[in-house]
Amino acid sequence: MRTEEEMMRMIRDTARKDDRIRAAYLEGSRANPKVPKDMFQDYDVVYIVEETESFQRDKSWIDRFGKRLYMQYPEDREAPEDKARCYGWLMQFADGNRMDLHVCTKEYARSHLELYRVLVDKDGIFEEKEMLSDERYRVQRPDQEEFSAVCNEFWWCLNNVAKGMWRREIPYVMEMLDMIIRPMLRTILEWKIGVETEFSVSAGKSGKYMEQYLDEDTYSRYLETYTSAGISDIQTGVEEMCRLFHETALYVSGKLDLTYNLEEAKNSREYLEDILSLPLDAETILLRKK
Locate the DSSP E strands across 94-221.
98-105, 116-121, 130-131
Q: What superfamily in CATH does domain 4-136 come from? A: Beta Polymerase, domain 2 (3.30.460.10)
For the chain, what are the domain ranges?
Answer: 4-136, 139-276
Rounded average pLDDT over 2-27: 97
What is the enclosing helix (H) or strand (E) of 192?
A: helix 182-197
Phi, psi values for residue 139, rounded to 5°: -60, 130
Cβ–Cβ under 8 Å, residues 204 and 173: no
For domain 139-276, give its CATH number from 1.20.120.330, 1.10.1380.10, 2.30.40.10, 1.20.990.10. Answer: 1.20.120.330
* pLDDT higher than threshold 70 for residue 289: no
Task: Give the pLDDT confidence score for residue 207 in this predicted structure.
Answer: 92
230: left (phi over 0), alpha (psi -120 to 50) or beta: beta
Strand partners of residue 98: 92
Tell me if residue 75 falls in helix, strand or coil: coil
pLDDT in tens, 268-287: 999 999 999 888 888 788 77
Rounded average pLDDT over 247-267: 97
Q: Can you tell me the distance from the alpha carbon of 14 to that of 199, in angstroms, rounded to the nearest whole number?
A: 40
Phi, psi values for residue 66, rounded to 5°: 130, 170
Q: Can you tell me the distance from the alpha carbon of 252 to that of 188, in angstroms, rounded to the nearest whole number?
A: 8
Instruction: Give the Cβ contact number of residue 9 at 10 Å.
Output: 12
Provide CB contacts within 8 A for 103, sequence distance 6+: 21, 46, 47, 48, 49, 52, 55, 86, 87, 88
Looking at per-residue pLDDT, the higher value among 128 and 5 belongs to 5
Q: Can you tell me the distance from the alpha carbon of 109 to that of 184, in angstroms, rounded to the nearest whole number?
A: 32
Locate the DSSP E strands across the chain.
21-27, 43-49, 68-72, 86-93, 98-105, 116-121, 130-131
pLDDT in tens, 109-130: 999 998 899 999 999 999 888 8
* pLDDT higher than threshold 60 for residue 290: no
Question: pTM score > 0.95 for this model?
Answer: no
pLDDT in tens, 40-98: 999 999 999 999 999 999 989 999 999 999 999 999 989 999 999 999 999 999 999 99
Residue 272 burial by Cβ neighbours in a 10 Å radius (0-12, 13-18, 19+): buried
Q: Can you tell me the distance from the alpha carbon of 152 to that of 184, in angstroms, rounded to the nearest whole number?
A: 9
Task: Give the pLDDT confidence score for residue 59 in this predicted structure.
Answer: 87
Q: Can you tell me the distance from the alpha carbon of 103 to that of 132, in angstroms, rounded to the nearest whole number?
A: 21
Q: Can you tell me the distance from the alpha carbon of 248 to that of 3, in angstroms, rounded to the nearest whole number?
A: 43
Average pLDDT over the chain, rounded to whole? 94
Q: Can you tell me the distance from the alpha carbon of 103 to that of 119, in angstroms, rounded to the nearest whole number?
A: 14
Q: In 232-241, which positions are buried (b, 16+ CB within 10 angstroms) versus exposed (e)?
A: eebbebbebb
